Amino acid sequence: MDQKIMEKICGPLGLGIGRVLGKKGRSFIEKNLRSFHQAAAQTGSNWLVLVDLDADECAPQYLHDHSPGSAHNFLLRVAVRELEAWLLADRERIANFLGVAESKIPFRVEEVFDPKQLIVDLARKSRKREIRDDLPPQPGVTAKQGILYNARMGEFINRYWRLEEARKSSDSLNRMYARLKSFRSR
C-alpha cells in the first residue's frame, strides 16, 4: 500500500519509483539510514525514505534526530501518524469508499492517534458489506486488519484518492510533496 501511495504522489511530478527497499519495518529503515544516504551520495540517484511516527513523537524532532546527512538527493520524510492519515485527508472520498458519513472522518487527521485503526473501526460500521467483510479482521483473529485490507485500500488509492484534496488537510503530505517537487527540478 505504501508504494501505491508514493506512486500516486510521484506520478504527477514526473518522478518514477525505482527499487523499493524496506517493507521490513521502521527499525530496519533506521538501522540502514546511513547506508541509504551514502548510496544516494555515491550514485547520484534520488532517494526518498519515508517513515511513520510513533504516537508520542514529533516530526521535526524525529527528522533532527535521525537525519543521516545532507546529500541534495536524499530526502527523509515523516508521515504524521501513519500513511493512512493521508488517505483520511480526502474526507469525502474515503467516507464514500468506506460507506460511512463524511462527518465520521475527522478534519484534523494528523491528530488521530491510530489512523489505520480508525479506518478499520469505520469499516466495521460500513453500509457496504464488502468493506465490512474485507477491512476489519475476522472475529477471534489477533490481526489488526483484515486479510484484504491492503488490496482494498490499494483500490481506494488507485481509483478514488485525490492527492490535491488530501494535501489541503495533511501538513506532512503537503510538505513532502513540496520537497519532492524540488527533486524534479534537479
Each residue's pLDDT tens digit, 39-48: 999 998 889 9
What residues contact residue 109 under an 8 Å CB cut-off, 6+ apart? 85, 86, 88, 89, 115, 169, 170
16-31 burial by CB neighbour count: b if 16+ within 10 A, else e?
eeeeeeeeeeeeebee
CA quadruple 163, 167, 170, 176: dihedral sign = positive
Model confidence at 91: pLDDT above 70: yes
pLDDT-derived band at 70 (thresholds 50, 70, 90) equals confident
Q: How many domains is the chain built from?
A: 2
pLDDT digits (tens, 9 = 90+) for 147-156: 999 999 999 9
User: How much is the average pLDDT of 138-165?
Assistant: 96
All residues at 6 or more sequence positions from 172 whose CB lies less than 8 Å from its CB, including other chains: 59, 77, 78, 79, 80, 85, 86, 110
Same domain? For 73 and 14 the reply is yes
140 with 177, same domain: the answer is no
Regarding whether 98 and 49 lie in a shared domain, the answer is: no
| Same domain, residue pair 101 and 54 | no
pTM above 0.75, yes or no: yes
Residue 176 domain boundaries: 2-81+168-184
Question: 159 with 172, same domain?
Answer: no
* Pair 96, 45 in one domain: no
How much is the average pLDDT of 78-90? 94
Same structural domain, 33 and 77: yes
175 shares a domain with 157: no
Average model confidence (pLDDT) across the chain: 92
Shared domain check, 105 and 73: no
pLDDT digits (tens, 9 = 90+) for 9-21: 999 999 988 888 8
Task: Report pLDDT digits (tens) over 172-185.
Answer: 999 999 999 987 66
